[in-house]
């Protein structure tokens, strides 16, 4: 018998314990073992009732996602059939939900006749977050227990609910304050002794009868905006509707077909990949899990501008005290005004209480004196990008801060090795690159310098977790991972506009691909002046490459984006949504003529491929240089830092899905048009030749 299922007999009650760490996932082995034990309990005359529970802090976290895509061995039953068998059992089966019951875990509990739950446990159907729907009866049984509206919220929303809510909705029968197992045994014995037929979830109909079909259309409308590009939400609604219109058997079959179709789709593959990718980022080969990390309890931020203030808010939000240092009281007071306004708008939207805002503000202090930050565990410098200034600040910090303090820079372009060279503690210097707005964006690029010790690396990775960020470790290079890739991809779209596309066509193609905004809209939002500086820098770094001329023309017109009500688009004052500008269109056409380019039509696919595959090619260079640890780290950066749609999985996954031989051909065509920006990466060439993917690459 498989050791992932333990079995004990407590008098006349058979107890099945799922013991498959870390998540008690329903692997093939669990399914096989569970089926066998249920079968034994059914045929053993000494067993009058059954209790199913989980070992450790989970009940069951769902089907084993790692096994998706593998063929089920012949001797393993379908989980869906195991549940049918359980539901049909004449002996009562009780789920003792000791911890998280998610996905197939909740389906297992619903396949039991009764459910008891520990107060701290939660239940949910999170499949939607993986791009599919429940596949073992969740869409049919949950509405029978909780009603249609709650089932829609739980299945389409995907968030778990706590024990009290589960009881209120009828998902569970009892919340057990004391010893869960003792009560489950007692409950099972009572049910067996009662002589009444066990209550099968699938046989219940009172909560699914007489439902107006309009409920489903209304729900569809309600979620339309937030489910753009996703297939699973609409399919989940159809399945729940099926529960109200079909027999259980028909509904289960309908759900099953839908589940299989969605599970095997590229979008679900991408979302599953992202699930593991964002867990993988925490694993750093030469920094073992038990590396001693500094317990960061206080921080100081140098610079109280937009970035500095946003970073300070992160610490205050996590309950840590933080001091902002700037050159003058005026600068500090302007910085604090912005922080206050930021919090106030969250309070106004009802997402933060006034009391919490006050507590957080109370954690932020200000100073102009370095002596006041000498005790901070970490100092993050967030002043403007000037190497001389940063070196001066780091020398001062090195002299004033306690020896164990970590000194970090929020630079997005400068060489942190050089910044750290002015200190006597290069082992404690590294980059913490926050994304703007720093209090909102989840991504943190932690930039490892040549001298940073593994303890320092472990400390900032842990800090990221404390601050609720997704931290990705990257190496030092111009723009690190995210901005270096963006620098190339955005430039390709500039070229496409010079050659025949229009900014709004580019933006629409990229929006339709799934990004929240296209690059020209982003540029208008961020300010065309910002890219102006980057571009002049890059002209110096790469004098021999083609550089776009249009963005500078727009800049020189004083059209700096939304803040001037004019950029690539025209804006009505106070409006964030722009309209295509006739003036810009004329300038574009004029510019193409000046450049001697005969404008041609671009298809949307060509635009998306130019944008995304140029990203993947730069990503391949980054991977080969060891700036990113793995291709999935690049994808995590692009999802959390730049809104790459999760259901596309990031540029590297997207390229892998197409196949690197085809990607190589496409990149070669881009190279012919745009030169060295998209010179096919050596890594891309070699992986394409070997028929491998970026995910296969091991440095």
Q: List the catalytic residues.
A: 107, 127
Tokens of 134: 């429940």
Runs of H (alpha helix) within 294-402: 306-317, 329-348, 354-362, 387-400
Residue 358 CB, nearest distance to ligand 3HC (Å)? 31
Q: Does residue 157 bind ligand 3HC (CB under 6 A)?
A: no
Should residue 237 be labelled a site residue for ligand 3HC when binding is judged by CB under 6 A?
no
**Segment contacting ligand 3HC by CB under 6 A, of 97-105, 379-387, 416-424, 502-510:** 97-105
Strand pairing class (569-570; 579-580)? antiparallel
| Nearest alpha carbon to residue 94 among 55, 139, 49 | 49
Token pair 């001298």 is at which residue?
Answer: 451
Which among 45-53, 128-136, 431-439, 632-640 is the span making contact with ligand 3HC, rule CB under 6 A? 128-136
User: Which residue among 51, 102, 444, 522 contacts ligand 3HC (CB under 6 A)?
Assistant: 102
Q: Does 25 bind ligand 3HC (CB under 6 A)?
A: yes
CA dist., res. 244 & res. 475, Å (int): 55
Q: How far apart are CA 223 and CA 237, in angstroms?
A: 11
**Contacting residue, 17, 32, 64, 240, with ligand 3HC by CB under 6 A:** 64
Question: Is the preceding peptide bond at 437 cis, omega within 30 degrees of 0?
Answer: yes
Residue in the structure block whose two tokens are 């297992």: 108
| x-marked contacts with ligand 3HC along 264-283 as a string, rule CB under 6 A | ---------------x----
Binds ligand 3HC by CB under 6 A, chosen from 17, 23, 189, 550 = 23
Residue 222 binds to ligand 3HC (criterion: CB under 6 A): no
Q: Which is nearer to ligand 3HC, 227 or 478 (CB)?
A: 227
Closest CA to 299 of 317, 286, 285, 287: 317
Query: Which of 42-48's residues contact partners 24+ apart within 8 Å by CB, and which partners?
Result: 42/85, 42/89, 42/91, 44/14, 46/9, 46/12, 47/9, 47/12, 47/13, 47/14, 47/91, 48/12, 48/13, 48/91, 48/188, 48/189, 48/192, 48/193
Closest approach of ligand 3HC to the CB of residue 102, in Å: 4
User: Candidates 103-111, 162-170, 381-389, 672-680 — which segment interacts with ligand 3HC by CB under 6 A?
Assistant: 103-111
Site for ligand 3HC (CB under 6 A): which residue of 96, 110, 112, 130? 130
DSSP letters spanning 450-471: SS--HHHHHHHHHHHHHTT-EE
Q: Shortest Cβ distance from residue 237 to ligand 3HC (Å)?
A: 16
Cα separation, 417 vs 629, in Å, equals 19
For residue 250, the minimal CB distance to ligand 3HC (Å) is 19
Using the minimum distance from each CB to ligand 3HC, give the nearer residue, 2 or 367.
2
Tell me if 134 contacts ligand 3HC by CB under 6 A.
Answer: yes
Distances (CA, A) of 645 to 220, 228, 362, 513, 557: 21, 10, 37, 8, 33
72 binds ligand 3HC (CB under 6 A): no
Enter the DSSP assignment of 566. B
β partners of residue 10: 13
* Minimum distance from residue 265 beta carbon to ligand 3HC (Å): 14
* Segment lying near ligand 3HC (by CB under 6 A), choices 132-140, 249-257, 530-538, 660-668: 132-140
| Cβ nearer to ligand 3HC, comparing 41 with 155 | 155
Q: State the Cα–Cα distance between residues 507 and 502, nearest whole angstrom.
A: 9
122 binds ligand 3HC (CB under 6 A): no
Asked whether position 251 contacts ligand 3HC by CB under 6 A, the answer is: no
Near ligand 3HC by CB under 6 A: residue from 22, 214, 388, 574: 22
By CB under 6 A, how many residues form the interface with ligand 3HC? 22
Mark residues 43-62: x for contact with ligand 3HC by CB under 6 A, - for none. Answer: ------------------xx
The DSSP bridge partners found for residue 406 are 378
66 binds ligand 3HC (CB under 6 A): yes
Minimum CB distance to ligand 3HC, residue 134 (Å): 4
Q: How far is the CB of 93 from ligand 3HC (least distance, A)?
A: 18
- Is 126 among the residues that bind ligand 3HC (CB under 6 A)? yes
Q: Which of 54, 135, 308, 482 binds ligand 3HC (CB under 6 A)?
A: 135
In the complex with ligand 3HC, the residue whose CB is nearer, 54 or 103, is: 103
Asked if 155 is part of the footprint of ligand 3HC (rule: CB under 6 A), the reply reads no
- Length in residues, the chain: 699
Residue with tokens 């510019």: 591
Backbone phi, psi, residue 375, to 5°: -95, -5
Residues 276-315 within binding reach of ligand 3HC (CB under 6 A): 279
Taking the complex as a whole, how short is the minimal distance between the CB of residue 632 and ligand 3HC, in angstroms? 12
Determine if 136 is a binding residue for ligand 3HC (CB under 6 A). Answer: yes
Distance separating alpha carbons of residues 159 and 122, to the nearest angstrom: 10
| Of 38, 76, 95, 107, the one binding ligand 3HC by CB under 6 A | 107
Residue 680 CA to residue 661 CA, distance in Å, equals 12
DSSP 256: H
Does 29 participate in binding ligand 3HC (rule CB under 6 A)?
no
Distance CA 248, CA 365 (A): 61
CA distance 110 to 100: 14
> Binder to ligand 3HC among 87, 127, 621, 656 (CB under 6 A)?
127
CA angle 570, 573, 579 (to 5 degrees): 25
596 Rama sector, left if φ>0, alpha if ψ -120 to 50, beta otherwise: left
Task: Give 125 or 417: the residue with its C-beta nearer to ligand 3HC.
Answer: 125
Task: Quickly tell me which residue has 């290079």 as its tokens.
Answer: 477
Q: Is 656 a binder of ligand 3HC (CB under 6 A)? A: no
Residues 6+ away with beta carbon under 8 Å from 171:
106, 110, 115, 123, 142, 145, 146, 150, 161
Contact with ligand 3HC (CB under 6 A): which of 50, 63, 101, 612?
63
| C-beta of residue 271 within 8 angstroms of C-beta of residue 131 | yes
Tokens (6 digits) for 15: 């107890």
Residue closer to ligand 3HC, measured from CB, 255 or 381: 255
Interface with ligand 3HC includes 138 (CB under 6 A)?
yes
Q: Judge whether 191 and 92 are in contact, CB under 8 Å.
A: yes
Q: How far is the CB of 9 from ligand 3HC (least distance, A)?
A: 29
Q: Provide the mask over 318-357, with x wherever binding to ligand 3HC is found by CB under 6 A and - wherever it is not.
A: ----------------------------------------
**Which stretches of the chain bind ligand 3HC, using CB under 6 A?**
22-23, 25, 61-66, 100, 102-104, 107, 126-127, 130, 134-136, 138, 279
């Amino acid at each position: 018998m498989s050791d992932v299922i333990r079995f004990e007999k407590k008098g006349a009650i058979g107890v099945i314990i799922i013991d498959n760490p870390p998540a008690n996932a329903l692997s093939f082995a669990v399914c096989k073992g569970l089926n066998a034990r249920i079968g034994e309990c059914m045929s053993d005359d000494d067993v009058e009732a059954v209790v199913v529970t989980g070992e450790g802090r989970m009940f069951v976290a769902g089907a084993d996602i790692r096994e998706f895509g593998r063929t089920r061995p012949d001797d393993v039953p379908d989980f869906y059939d195991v549940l049918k068998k359980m539901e049909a059992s004449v002996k009562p089966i009780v789920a003792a939900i000791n911890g998280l019951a998610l996905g197939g875990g909740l389906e297992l509990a619903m396949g039991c006749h009764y459910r008891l739950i520990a107060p701290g446990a939660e239940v949910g159907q999170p499949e939607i977050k993986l791009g599919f729907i429940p596949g073992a009866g969740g869409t049919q049984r949950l509405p029978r227990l909780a009603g249609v509206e709650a089932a829609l919220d739980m299945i389409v929303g995907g968030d778990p609910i706590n024990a009290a809510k589960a009881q209120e909705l009828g998902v569970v029968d009892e919340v057990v304050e004391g010893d869960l197992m003792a009560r489950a045994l007692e409950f099972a014995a009572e049910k067996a002794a009662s002589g009444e037929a066990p209550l099968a979830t699938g046989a219940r109909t009172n909560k699914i009868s007489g439902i107006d079909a309009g409920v489903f259309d209304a729900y569809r409308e309600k979620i339309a905006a937030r489910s753009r590009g996703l297939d699973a939400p609409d399919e989940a609604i159809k399945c729940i509707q099926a529960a109200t219109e079909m027999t259980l058997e028909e509904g289960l079959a309908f759900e099953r077909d839908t589940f299989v179709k969605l599970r095997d789709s590229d979008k679900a593959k991408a979302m599953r990949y992202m699930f593991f990718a964002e867990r993988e980022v925490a694993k750093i080969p030469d920094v073992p899990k038990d590396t001693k990390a500094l317990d960061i309890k206080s921080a100081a931020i140098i610079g109280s501008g937009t970035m500095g203030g946003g970073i300070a808010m992160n610490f205050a939000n996590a309950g840590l005290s933080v001091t902002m240092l700037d050159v003058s009281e005026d600068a500090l007071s302007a910085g604090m005004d912005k922080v206050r306004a930021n919090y106030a708008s969250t309070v106004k939207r009802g997402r933060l209480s006034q009391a919490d805002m006050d507590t957080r503000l109370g954690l932020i202090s200000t100073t102009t004196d370095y002596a006041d930050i000498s005790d901070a565990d970490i100092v993050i410098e967030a002043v403007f990008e000037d190497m001389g200034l940063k070196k001066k600040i780091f020398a001062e910090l090195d002299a004033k801060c306690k020896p164990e303090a970590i000194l970090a820079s929020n630079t997005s372009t400068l060489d942190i090795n050089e910044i750290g060279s002015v200190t006597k503690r290069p082992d404690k210097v590294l980059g913490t690159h926050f994304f703007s707005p720093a209090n909102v964006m989840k991504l943190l690029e932690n930039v490892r310098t040549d001298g940073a010790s593994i303890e320092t690396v472990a400390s900032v990775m842990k800090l990221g977790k404390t601050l609720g960020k997704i931290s990705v470790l990257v190496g030092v290079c111009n723009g690190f991972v995210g901005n270096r890739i963006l620098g190339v991809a955005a430039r390709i779209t500039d070229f496409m506009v010079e050659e025949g596309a229009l900014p709004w066509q580019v933006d629409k193609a990229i929006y339709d691909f799934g990004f929240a905004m296209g690059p020209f809209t982003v540029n208008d939002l961020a300010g065309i002046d910002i890219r102006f500086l980057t571009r002049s820098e890059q002209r110096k770094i790469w004098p021999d490459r083609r550089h776009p001329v249009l963005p500078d023309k727009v800049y020189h017109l004083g059209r700096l984006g939304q803040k001037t009500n004019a950029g690539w688009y025209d804006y009505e004052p106070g409006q964030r949504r722009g309209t295509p500008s006739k003036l810009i269109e004329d300038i574009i056409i004029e510019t193409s003529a000046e450049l001697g380019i005969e404008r041609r039509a671009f298809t949307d696919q060509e635009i998306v491929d130019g944008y995304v595959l140029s990203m993947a090619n730069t990503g391949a260079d980054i991977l080969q240089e060891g700036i990113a640890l793995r291709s999935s780290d690049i994808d995590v950066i692009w999802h959390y830092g730049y809104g790459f749609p999760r259901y596309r999985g990031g540029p590297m996954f997207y390229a892998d899905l197409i196949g690197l031989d085809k990607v190589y051909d496409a990149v070669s065509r881009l190279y012919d048009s745009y030169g060295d920006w998209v010179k096919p990466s050596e890594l891309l060439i070699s992986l394409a030749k070997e028929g491998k993917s970026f995910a296969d690459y091991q440095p």
